[in-house]
Amino acid sequence: MEQHDQAPDAGETEPLGSFASYTVGLIFALLLTGASFLVSQTHLLWAPGVPAGLAVLAIAQMGVHLVFFLHISTGPDNTNNVLALVFGLLIVTLVVSGSLWIMAHLNANMMPPSALMEMRR
Amino acid sequence: MTSGSAGGPAPVRIVVAYGFWIFLLSDIIMFSALFATYAVLSGQTAGGPSGRELFQLRHVGVETLCLLFSSYTCGLAILAIERRRMREFYVSCALTFVLGASFLGLEISEFVGMIARGAGPSRSAFLSSFFSLVGLHGIHVSAGLLWLTFMVAQTATKGARDFVRRRLLCFSLFWHALDIIWVALLTLVYLMGAR
């Protein structure tokens, strides 16, 4: 069983990043997390802009994790990983934004309970 | 071998990581459904406590640091096993386990505290969705800790063989993905909810 594993793997160079890349990733992640807490707890940002600021910081941190920890890159061995990621992001966006959109409309178009009672009579 | 795209089959390691990456993306899609549920229901407190009253950001900050550093030590463990530095590998795995377990302990103490205050999952739609979303992440972390224990035992008995290192690579991908989900959770649930 191990035989066919051996052949293509032989002499493979390490595609896994380095101590330096993990450490840089950790520092970026710490800075972005600190910034998120700072933005949410202080009046550094204009109050109505805080959710947008937090979203930007979170997306930036997810990008840092993907590149420095999960090693998603633009290298030739990585094309399939990137394509799968893009498809995953499409589905996630559809699920989240679609749910929010539909539920907000349902909520707005909902009949008030008193009117519902009237209809039942 | 210079690159997998030069023709011929890609190295097993690349194929295995790709398959596991597809699993992780499907897991993230499952989480997205719970995120959407939480986003829709986060205001429906049914007269019960809201996130602003329940969440303690200092507590959450420590949880975040535990998970982030355990992700880092997990990466160091993979580097160590690739270079056959076994002592470094075991130390990194132990640190990963301790930090992950601390995260889980803090989360459980938070849940127990909330339930003791009468803010359990049956109190309101907001709390049901909160416990499903955060609890599912906690279950993933527990599964990861179990997996890590198995992988350390397997490395100890079978050595740093190819298939063992591939499984460790999959574990590290899983652990880093959990950290990505936590970033989304921290932002949407705690930081936005506690304002």
The greatest distance separating any two alpha carbons of chain B, rounded to the nearest whole angstrom, comes to 64
Superfamily of B55-193 according to CATH = Cytochrome c oxidase, subunit III, four-helix bundle (1.20.120.80)
Question: In chain A, what is the straight-line distance between the N-terminal and C-terminal CA atoms, in Å?
Answer: 73
Give me A113's structure tokens: 């309970």
Q: Do B186 and A18 touch (CB under 8 A)?
A: no
Say what the ipTM of the complex is: 0.88
Q: Give the span between the Cα atoms of B140 and B146, in whole angstroms.
A: 10
Distance from CA of A120 to the nearest CA of B (A): 25
Note the pLDDT of residue A4. 44
Q: Is A14 on the interface with B (CB under 8 A)?
A: yes
Note the pLDDT of residue B6. 59
Nearest 10 degrees: Cα torsion B94, B97, B102, B107: 180
pLDDT tens across B3-51, in order? 445 567 888 988 999 999 999 999 999 999 999 999 999 988 888 898 8
pLDDT tens across B72-129, in order? 999 999 999 999 999 999 999 999 999 999 999 999 999 999 999 999 999 999 999 9
- Domain positions in chain A: 16-71, 76-121
Note the pLDDT of residue A3. 43
A8, A41, A77 member nearest B9 (Cβ): A8
For chain A of 121 residues, list the mean pLDDT of each consecutive stretch of 10.
42 63 95 94 88 94 94 83 94 95 86 75 68
B32, B37, B75 member nearest A69 (Cβ): B75
Instruction: Of A6, A3, A72, A19, give the one whose Cα is nearest residue B13.
Output: A6
Q: Give the span between the Cα atoms of B84 and B106, in whole angstroms.
A: 34
Q: Give the span between the Cα atoms of B27 and B25, in whole angstroms.
A: 5
